Amino acid sequence: MIMRFLLCCGLATVALSTQAMTLYKSTDANGEVFFSDRHTPGAQAFVIQERRIERVKRPVRELPMPSYPQQAYRYPFPWRGGPFRLSQGPNGSFSHTDAKSRYAMDIAMPEGTSIIAARSGVVVKTENNQAGRGNDASGNFVRVRHDDGTEGVYLHLKQGSVSVRVGQRVGLGTPLALSGNTGNSSGPHLHFVVQRATEAGLVSIPYEFNQPVGTLPNFALGN
Ligand SMILES: [Zn+2]
């Protein structure tokens, strides 16, 4: 009986440590059952399969808010002239409330201010023909994909002022367009946002200018 127990333990060990093997069950003259990995006449074959491991399904948990590593790059001001001031900052209650624009900054400036690339990259999308509010809340814009995959987007530009084309490589300071007041804009300003493509679409990521920007209180209901 003890032998049989030990044999069973041995079998269990074999089953755990192999993917698949064949064992032969025989009964000796005394009626004792034994197992061997060699075939003997009259033995009964058992194929021991790899143990199947069922993955335990865990309850779906709500994903935590993604954390964004602090960007090493500090953006120079994407305009010439000034000084201009922030009219709505990150998480501004007027329009910086969704994933695409949460960390955008609005800088109030006169229409026709020269907008320049704040970081080098390749122009991947532009809009240049929108008059006034138009159909697109972004108005006219230039989208530049940086070498690290993030994208800088310059919005509400003046109709007909975009001076770069899709596929063009731009360097820091390359003129892109003139500022305007097109799309969903409550006054002449530049909306500058840095985004990253995710499975859920484009999301705005935090960024910082390389120098302080003053704020305009109570403009555009922003923060
Ligand atoms: Zn904005």
Q: Separation of 63 CA from ligand 1 center, angstroms?
A: 27
Mean pLDDT (whole number) for 125-153 = 95
Is 118 in the same domain as 183?
yes
Q: Separation of 167 CA from ligand 1 center, angstroms?
A: 25
Nearest to 180, CA basis, from 126, 130, 216: 130
Question: Given pLDDT bands bounded at 50, 70 and 90, which one contains residue 84?
Answer: very high
Q: Separation of 104 CA from ligand 1 center, angstroms?
A: 6
CA distance 215 to 112: 21
Does some domain include residue 126? yes
Question: Given pLDDT bands bounded at 50, 70 and 90, which one contains residue 120?
Answer: very high
Is 130 in the same domain as 184?
yes
Is 154 in the same domain as 190?
yes
Does some domain include residue 220? no
pLDDT of residue 21: 66
Does some domain include residue 218? no
Q: Separation of 83 CA from ligand 1 center, angstroms?
A: 18
118-122, 123-127, 213-217: range with lowest mean pLDDT: 213-217
Is 45 in the same domain as 89?
no
Is 11 in the same domain as 104?
no
Could you tell me the pTM of the whole model? 0.68
Does some domain include residue 57? no
**Boundaries of domain holding 38:** 2-49
CATH number, position 197: 2.70.70.10
Number of domains the chain is built from = 2
Does some domain include residue 66? no
Is 35 in the same domain as 81?
no
Does some domain include residue 17? yes
CA distance 185 to 19: 66
